[in-house]
Amino acid sequence: MGTIIETKDIQKTYRMGLEEVKALKSVSITVNRGEYVAFMGPSGSGKSTLMNIIGCLDTPTAGTYILNQKDVSDMTENELAEIRNKEIGFVFQTFNLLPRATCLENVALPLIYAGFNKSDRQDKAFLALKSVGLEDRVSHKPNELSGGQRQRVAIARALVNDPSIILADEPTGNLDSKTSYDIMGLFHDLHQKGNTIIMVTHEDDIAHYAHRIVRLRDGLVESDTVNPNPNLGKPELAH
């Protein structure tokens, strides 16, 4: 399988006035290609900070982060932006779609930065939308879609560049229960196709869709366990 993510003694300290806040004290984890991992923890545990570092949205104060055999710990902002575009597909709780753009245009956006021509962008964006069951919504704008459909557009956008990892930050946070199960069923299908997925959630039943659960507390890894019975997109299996 091979290692795709490796953090060694990652620390993150924020300065708030005269105070120092240690969001991450020392976190060392390894994620292999094709794994499906959930980060859990109470508010202030460090899970969002860790997600931001793994997603190259932030850099550690100390420690080393290796992504796909590249040391990204000390990269410049421009280098990090390139890594984000090529290596990482983001799915956010709030969807982060452009309201005036169609589904096709929203999904094609990362391909503009990656240098694809318009024809190739449209072809790849259509295929990504088709993979999440929205090929009949390509010309719709976000306000013409349900919450679940908007999240599917966001997932298609995350997939369009064939990223090394998909990072999902509270992907069901704005969805009702039934739609949440549908979206988690889609993540299950994506994982079955070989995608590496890392998800941040505070919901226990959502975390149990992952095959491995890493619990953080006070900036440290509290536990890192294999989930022997992952949910498979069926509500009745929820814990």
Q: What's the pLDDT score for residue 138? A: 94
From the list 150, 159, 147, the residue with the least C-alpha distance to 103 is 150
- Mean pLDDT over residues 83-98, rounded? 89
Query: What pLDDT shows up at residue 1?
Result: 67
pLDDT at 239 over 50: no
**Which tokens in the block code for residue 23?**
């969001």
Measured from the Cβ of residue 78, the count of other Cβ atoms closer than 10 Å reads 8
- Alpha helix (H) residue ranges in 88-224: 103-113, 118-131, 147-159, 177-192, 204-207
Tell me the CATH number of domain 34-62+78-237, given options 3.20.20.70, 3.40.710.10, 3.40.1550.10, 3.40.50.300: 3.40.50.300
Q: Which tens digit of pLDDT belongs to each residue from 189-226? A: 889 989 999 999 988 889 999 999 999 999 999 999 99
Locate the domains of the chain by residue range: 34-62+78-237
Query: What is the arithmetic mean of pLDDT over 165-187?
Result: 90
